[in-house]
């Protein structure tokens, strides 16, 4: 069954029209996603949880990525979708109050996966969730997620900047997280 998405304007506001996900990516139609980065403090350092995408994902197979992310179904808003994706992908139950808004990101990319054109046009809201759970404490949705990995945040930034591992992480979101982490450390 096709996943139906709201077509949105540049601010992420639904236009009243919908489109199926495959066509949205084939034609490059603007739609919404929610991104949740899970953070924890361990031994005085901030760590970020990366998910390794399943090898048969339609985009960026086998790449390290955001802790939890997903397309927003038609008629659903950013936060409920973010909470649903956390539950589906990682079996994490969280509340809206636990999500810390970090910013909005406009995604525009063109690629090819498995011989098919892929034109990504997204308005994404980026959130942080502080959760100290060992890797073994997550129940993974095997169709979506191959594994998870805690990594020191600064190490993740360095490795993305130097492109030293297979990932689909963008520096813009890591800098949104850095701002959140810096604000949080001044509040404590």
Q: Which of 30, 23, 98 is nearest to 68 (CA)?
A: 98
Tens of pLDDT, residues 30-87? 999 999 999 999 999 999 999 999 998 877 889 999 999 999 999 999 999 999 999 9
pLDDT at residue 137 is higher than 70: yes
pLDDT score, position 117 = 81
Rg value, the chain, Cα: 16
pLDDT 10s digits, 15-29: 999 999 989 988 999
DSSP, residue by residue, the chain: -PPEEEEE-TTS-EEEEEEEHHHHHHHT--EEEEEEEEEEEETTEEEEEEEEEPTT-SSSTT-EE-SEEEEPBTT--HHHHHHHHHHHHH-----GGG-EEEEEEEEEEEEEETTEEEEEEEEEEEEEEE----GGG----TTTEEEEEEEEHHHHHHHHHHT-S-B---HHHHHHHHHHHHHHHHH-
Q: How do the domains of the chain map onto residue ranges?
A: 4-187
What is the pLDDT at residue 188? 60
155's CB contacts (< 8 A; 6+ apart) are: none
Indicate whether 186 pLDDT > 90: no
4-187 is classed CATH 3.10.20.30: no
Token code pair at residue 15: 């236009």
Q: What is the pLDDT of residue 114?
A: 64
In this predicted model, what pLDDT tens digit does every residue of 81-133 receive, in sequence order?
999 999 999 999 999 999 999 999 998 888 876 678 878 899 999 999 999 99
Output the pTM of the full model: 0.93
């Amino acid at each position: 069954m096709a996943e139906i998405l709201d077509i949105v304007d540049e601010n992420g506001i639904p236009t009243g029209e919908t489109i199926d996900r495959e066509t949205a990516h084939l034609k490059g139609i603007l739609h919404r996603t929610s991104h949740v980065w899970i953070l924890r403090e361990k031994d005085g350092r901030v760590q970020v949880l990366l998910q390794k995408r399943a090898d048969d994902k339609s985009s960026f197979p086998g790449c390290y990525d955001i802790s939890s992310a997903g397309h927003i179904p038609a008629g659903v808003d950013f936060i409920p979708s973010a909470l649903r994706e956390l539950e589906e992908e990682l079996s994490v139950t969280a509340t809206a109050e636990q999500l810390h808004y970090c910013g909005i990101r406009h995604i525009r990319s063109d690629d090819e996966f498995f011989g098919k054109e892929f034109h990504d046009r997204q308005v994404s809201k980026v959130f942080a969730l502080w959760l100290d759970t060992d890797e073994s404490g997550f129940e993974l949705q095997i169709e979506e997620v191959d594994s998870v990995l805690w990594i020191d945040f600064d190490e993740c930034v360095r490795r993305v900047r130097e492109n030293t591992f297979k990932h689909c992480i963008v520096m813009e979101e890591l800098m949104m997280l850095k701002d959140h982490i810096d604000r949080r450390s001044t509040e404590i």
